[in-house]
Amino acid sequence: MKPRSKLVVFVGLLMLVAFESSAAVPPSDKRTILTSGEKVYPIHYQLGQSTVLFFGLRPETVICGNKNYFNIEKIKEGITIQPLSNFSTNLTVLAQGRRYLFFLTPTSGKPDGFVEVKWVPPGQARSVKTLAKTDSEVVRELGQRTKIGNTVEFSILREKVLDKGKRRIFEVELANLGGKSIPSNQFEVVASLGGVPLARQVVVWEGDDLKGKGKLRGRVIVSEHDGKSLSLVIGHLGRSTKLVIKGGRN
């Protein structure tokens, strides 16, 4: 090879390396999340735009509450999220014994394009109890229950109303009357008003499985709702039932 040809090839390789290096650098307007796996973080999206969640390690399991509304793909050290509809849902990512909790929700403002998620030990994380109990918090004991088929019982234990009614948290519980363990991602709980799912809601379970003869608790968090009566619809393997929760506060 002639010296001039070698020079051209060398310069070309340098340009290729520089391009790949620049492509690997996240955008300057990236958002960073510090989590110890206890708090649910909102991810804001817009139709037509993808969102990248970068964990610095390869995701093992991705659980989306309403997977029909999103295309989610694993990449080397994260996931890409492509919304197909304006619908809010919960998202759980499991990797190397860690659990990351998110709430996918549409926004009319600036969406999240690149989110770097960093894991911190629970002792070093900031307090996840950002909603401290105040005089504006109201707790209602509900004690409502229903059955899904013959093997699962669903209960709404209590309701917490915070931020002057802008946020409602329903503490729920599943009871397995059978002997076989059931993955929690097989259950879908949706808060609805007049048969229409509320836009801002998320469901978080305290474990990945409902053990045989065991119980599993969770929370249904509804935001920007005026406190009117609503229904919690619980579904499992093609069966569904609902409980109506009357509005108002004690």
pLDDT score for 123: 54
Per-residue burial over 158-177, b if 16 or more Cβ lie within 10 Å, else e, is ebbbbeebebbbbbbebbbe
Low-confidence ranges of the chain (pLDDT < 50): 6-28, 126-135, 249-250
pLDDT score for 237: 86
Query: What CATH number matches the domain at 138-245, 3.30.420.10, 2.60.40.10, 2.60.120.10, 3.10.129.10?
Result: 2.60.40.10
Closest CA to 111 of 29, 33, 34: 29
pLDDT score for 28: 46
The two domains 31-119 and 138-245 share their CATH topology (first three levels equal): yes
| CB-CB neighbours of 77 under 10 Å | 13
Q: Residue 52: what residue type? A: V
d(CA 86, CA 156): 27
What's the Cα-to-Cα distance from 46 to each of 27, 128, 163, rounded to whole Å?
18, 27, 27
d(CA 5, CA 87): 56
| Domain boundary assignment for the chain | 31-119, 138-245
pLDDT score for 133: 44
pLDDT score for 167: 81
